[in-house]
Amino acid sequence: MRTLRGSALIGTFLAVVLVSAAAQHAVAGDGAAGPTGQLTGRVTAGEGVSAPAPLSVAIDDWVCGKDGSIADPSLVIGPTGGISDVVVTVEVPGAPPITSMTPAVIDQHKCVFVPHVTLLAPGQELEVRNGDPVLHNFRTISELNRKVNRAQIKGASDTFRFENPEILRAECDVHYWMSAVVVIAPNAFTTVTGSDGTFTLNDLPAGRYPVRLWHQKLGTRTVEVEVGPGGGRLETAWSADNAG
């Protein structure tokens, strides 16, 4: 049985290169009104980190596809080495809450949760749909929010709200390979890397901050970044630690 703890946390280290885009203008930030800047960054796969093998399909292959036809969404590396779906949180003291309340939808399509990672504000409505002609269920693994376990027949739609900041996992028990990540963001300076491993966060107060990086397979790491009035840049290569 797969569990959150059971996900293989690969021993890792981060090669971190911090480049301040305007270090000469950087001032200490306290989250109050003052100069703000844009933080851009990229997370790439370092030595020893590679995409897992495609998933095996053991049931419902008439909908889900043939064995080996589903790319494993738990660790996706783009053609130029960017890692998708890394949750990035800049820990700015006194940061405002995330306020984006655009509708969030997770569909189940050919036995894959789409999108794999969904970013929510606390309390934001999340719709989960089953677009497949087979039974799925949506079961969450969480510690800070109420647990959900909802079977969904073809065409079903259910909505959920999660009130507390947390990164929670969701799985389908019918199709053991199905997993999704739901991020209830702790602050407005939280985002998820795109398919090329890049991210952008706007309106950060100038200052030096810890940045927490979370990935479903690679685990959690904290790095530092400096943001000046002209912005900041974070480049990290996330590597497997082969030293043991």
> What are the residues binding Cu ion (CB under 5 A)?
136, 172, 174-175, 178
What are the beta bridge partners of residue 205? Answer: 36
Q: How far is the CB of 66 from Cu ion (least distance, A)?
A: 16
**Considering beta carbons, is residue 2 or 100 the nearer one to Cu ion?**
2
126 versus 134: smaller Cβ distance to Cu ion:
134
Least distance in angstroms from the C-beta of 168 to Cu ion: 18
Q: Tell me whether residue 160 or residue 209 sits nearer to Cu ion (CB atom).
A: 160
Least separation, in Å, of the C-beta of 53 and Cu ion? 20
Answer left, alpha or beta for residue 111, where phi above 0 means left and psi between -120 and 50 means alpha.
left
CA dist., res. 154 & res. 132, Å (int): 6
Kindly tell me which of 147 and 195 has the beta carbon lying closer to Cu ion.
Answer: 147
Nearer to Cu ion, 174 or 240 (CB): 174
Minimum separation from the CB atom of position 84 to Cu ion (A): 21
* Shorter beta-carbon distance to Cu ion: residue 178 or 204: 178
Between 62 and 102, whose beta carbon lies closer to Cu ion? 62
> Per residue, what are the HEC states of the chain?
CCCCCCCCCCCEEEEEEEECCCHHHCCCCCCCCCCEEEEEEEEEECCCCCCCCCECCCCCHHHHCCCCCECCCCCCECCCCEECCCEEEECCCCCCCCCCCCCEEEEEECCEEECCEEEECCCCEEEEEECCCCCEEEEEECCCCCCCEEEECCCCEEEEECCCCEEEEEECCCCCCCEEEEEECCCCCEEECCCCCEEEEEEEECEEEEEEEEECCCEEEEEEEEEECCEEEEEEEEEECCCC
Q: How far is the CB of 179 from Cu ion (least distance, A)?
A: 10
Quote the least distance from Cβ 175 to Cu ion, whole Å. Answer: 4
Report in angstroms how near the CB of residue 242 gets to Cu ion at its nearest.
35
